[in-house]
Each structure stands twice: as structure tokens, then as C-alpha cells.
Amino acid sequence: MKPINFPERVIWYSIIGTYAFYLIGGLYIVGSVIGWILLIYLCKKLFNQTEATPLDERITIPLSTWIWIGGMLVMELALILGHYDFDLPTGLVIKSTIGWAKGWALLAVFPLVGVLKIRPQLLWRAACIVCFQTLLFSPIFILAYLLHLPEQLYISPLRIVGGPSDEFFAFRLYEIDPSNALPRWRLFTPWAPALGFIANVYFFMALQETNKKWRWLGIAGSIFMCVISASRLALLSITVVFLVTRVLTNLARPVVLIALGFGSFITSLLANTLVKSYETFQQKFTDARPDSSRVRKTLAEIALERSWNEAPIWGHGVVQTGPHLVEYMPIGSHHTWYGLLFVKGFVGVIALGFPMLCSFLDLLVKAQKSETAKSGLSMILILFLYTFGENLEILSYLYWPGLVVMGMAFKGKEQLDLSIDRRPEATSI
């Protein structure tokens, strides 16, 4: 598998070079920049496109992609008006806009990049390679803990370009969870739960790989990342999304519809038992890391109260540090919806919620006939689940391959399958 054009080369080497970029502290920069580079390339292609351009070379932008573009532009509008409402300085507006360009904007930029001539198989293989690299390099990180080496070796000098925090440029071998004194690993991500997030994205990309050895290496590596991240949401998400995707992509089959009907009947009979089981599961989920659950709950309460009383429409414009009660964590962090309510108000919630809903419905229909759309559906489900445990915008520089997959999946089946080689590859690595 080799890239054959400019966008494929950019995407291929950006993904398989993950650990190399992490070593020099450049992963945040790479993920934030390549989307805009490819967007410039796309604009050039569109500018040169004429009626004489062959049909198979023409670029068309799907409706779902336009909706994402509109939603993320509304995010910027909410950001500006939030700053204006609280009389924040112009310099801060510019700084926040740069942050928007490296965060929320990428949720529209990378799906837009997906309209370019990029083979889905290239992404499947690249994801598997990163998972394989994880299996190769992880003994070093684990041995570092066993030998009691320092948790953090250094912070890259590339930190000077700016970023959310030092964690995005630090090379960390492992970390100790303060709630239980057990080790967990973040590898190339800024914190351990983020590793579980990326592992989910790569898992569903690896499932599409046609080479059996690469596919199983990808699956093993992604599950391994979920486990060593010690993230509850990662293990829950990879299971739920797998099962839900399987059901949703087979709705046209009578046996599935019959099974759903029978399941609904059984559920109605066991409603009370299921509710109690859910409550028990939720309590065990919370008790697994009680300190983390307490901080998240308190942050949510503060964000809701202050959003409703101070800035319900456009939000506060910027994040604010929380009190000692939440260990000085930013208000609205650890949760996309609460973060949007606090920073961008109700408008920000709609600006994300509407594109996600439209994408889900679009991909649900397309996934009945397309394998790429099936992966895209898995990506939107992962994003939705992780809105309850992470701030999506701050990690977009990492999970961008999933956004590109979504962009590919938005295309119609004729365009979608045009470049897909369905011949199985040889099994040799």
C-alpha cells in the first residue's frame, strides 16, 4: 500500500509517522496544520475545475459536509459575540480564533478534505500500522514503569509555537493514577483517556482492512491501547459502538427487524429489572474512579448554573479556571456539551448537535450499502459518546483520520466506491 497523489502522501505519512512526531513533540502541530494544507490544495483544485474536467475528476461537496462547515462557522460567530458580551479585548478574540482554527474548525476541514481523491484502504492500512507500532513500542513504556524511571522525560522546545498546555508537547513514559496509585499509559496523547478515544477510532478503521494479518494487528493494537489507558469510556464505547453499528447497518434485513421487535417485547417485560441493572452498572462505573467522577459531576453543575444565569445564548467566550473543589480544572472541561454551554452558549450546542444529527441520519442510510459509510457511522457514534467524556475540539488534531473517513462516507455510493479495489491482498506483511 503506497500513496499515489499529494493528499494521500500527506495523510499516509502524517498517520504512520505518529510516534516519530510524538518523539519530537510535533504531533499537535502536524494534526493542526495538515488539514489547512489540504484545504488549500482542495481550493486550488476547485478553482481549476471547469466544465471540461472529466466526471471522475470533478470534486463535489456533499450536503452533510456543508452542514459541518456551517456549524463550525456558527461556532466562530458564537465565540466573537461571547467575547463582545463580556467586553474582552481584541487580542483575546484573535487568540481564541486561532484556537478555533486548531480545534472546532477541523471538524469541518477534515470532512471537507474527504472529498479529495483518497483511497479508504490507505487509511485502514495506516491505522493498522500505528496500532502495530504501539504493540512494538509499548514494552519500552511498560518497562519504564517497572524500572521506576521518571514519568516525564522532557517537554519539546516546539512548545514555543503555542498550544493548550505543556501536556501536548511532553514526552511521558507512563503516569500514576492518583485515585488508586496504579499505572496507566497515554503514549502519544496528552492524557490517558484520550488514548482510549483514538484507539476506538483506529479499531473501527482496522476492521475494514482486507489483509488479515494487518487487520488482526490493528484490532489487537487498538484494544491494547484501550486497556492500558484504563479508560472506562474507551472500553464501553468500543463495545457499544460495535454492537450498535452491527444492528444499524443491517436494518434492511428481515431477521434484524424481527429480532428488534422481539427484543422490544422482552425489554417491556423486563423494564424494572433493566432499570435496576442500569443503575447498578452506573454506580459501579462511578465507583471505579470516584474522584474523577466527583470532579466531572461538580464541573458539570458549575457550568450549567453559570451558563444559565450569566450567558445562556452566546456563552462566556473563553474558558475559566474552576475552584479548588474541582482541582482548578477549567469549567466545562471533560464534557463537550457543558463546555459548549459555558463557552459558546445554547448556540454552540446547536452548532454541534445539528451537524451530528444530520450526519448520523445520512450515514445510517448510506451504511446499508457501503462499507466506508459503515465506518463513517461508527465514527459519528464514537464522537457522540465521547462528547460526554472529553472536549471534542481539543483532541481533533488526533482523531482527524476518523473525520476524513466521515467526509469520504458523505459522498454518494457511486463516487464512494469508485476508487475502492475490492480484490483481497496477499496475506504477507
Segment 31-40 shows an average pLDDT of 94
The reported pLDDT for the residue numbered 55 is 75
- Pairing mode, if any, of strands 175-176 and 183-184? antiparallel
What pLDDT does 425 receive?
Answer: 46
Are 322 and 299 spatial neighbours (Cβ–Cβ below 8 Å)?
Answer: yes
How large a percentage of the chain has pLDDT more than 70?
83
- How far is residue 65's CA from residue 365's CA, in Å, rounded to a whole number? 16
Q: Which position has the higher pLDDT, 326 or 340? A: 340
Helices (runs of H) and strands (runs of E) counted in the chain: 17, 4
Query: Are the beta carbons of 50 and 41 closer than 8 angstroms?
Result: no
Residue 327 corresponds to which cell in the numbers above?
A: 482541582
Higher pLDDT, 64 or 416: 64
pLDDT in tens, 367-398: 888 889 999 999 999 999 999 888 899 999 99
Whether the predicted model's global pTM rises above the 0.75 cut = yes
Output the pLDDT for position 330: 75
> Looking at residues 236-256, what average pLDDT do you find?
82
Is the model's pLDDT at 208 over the cut of 50? yes
Instruction: Enter the C-alpha cell of residue 99.
Output: 484556537
- In sequence order, which residues have a C-beta less than 8 Å from that of residue 27 and are 6 or more positions away? 18, 21, 168, 188, 397, 398
Which is more confidently placed, 65 or 389?
A: 65
How high is the mean pLDDT of the chain?
84
What confidence category does residue 266 fall into, taking pLDDT thresholds of 50, 70 and 90? low
- Give the Cα separation of 408 and 187 in Å (integer): 28
Residue scoring higher pLDDT (372 or 310): 372
Per-residue pLDDT at 422: 43
What mean pLDDT comes out for the span 182-207?
Answer: 93
Cell readout for 49 is: 475545475
**Region 117-138 average pLDDT:** 94
d(CA 180, CA 192): 15
Rounded distance between C-alpha atoms, residue 248 and residue 44, angstroms: 38
Which distant-in-sequence residues (6+ apart) come within 8 Å of 382 by Cβ? Answer: 197, 200, 201, 204, 237, 241, 402
Listed residue (206, 200, 202, 204) closest to 231, CA to CA: 200
Chain position carrying cell 466506508: 372
Spans of all domains in the chain: 6-48+59-135+159-171+294-416, 250-288
CB 205 within 8 A of CB 401: yes
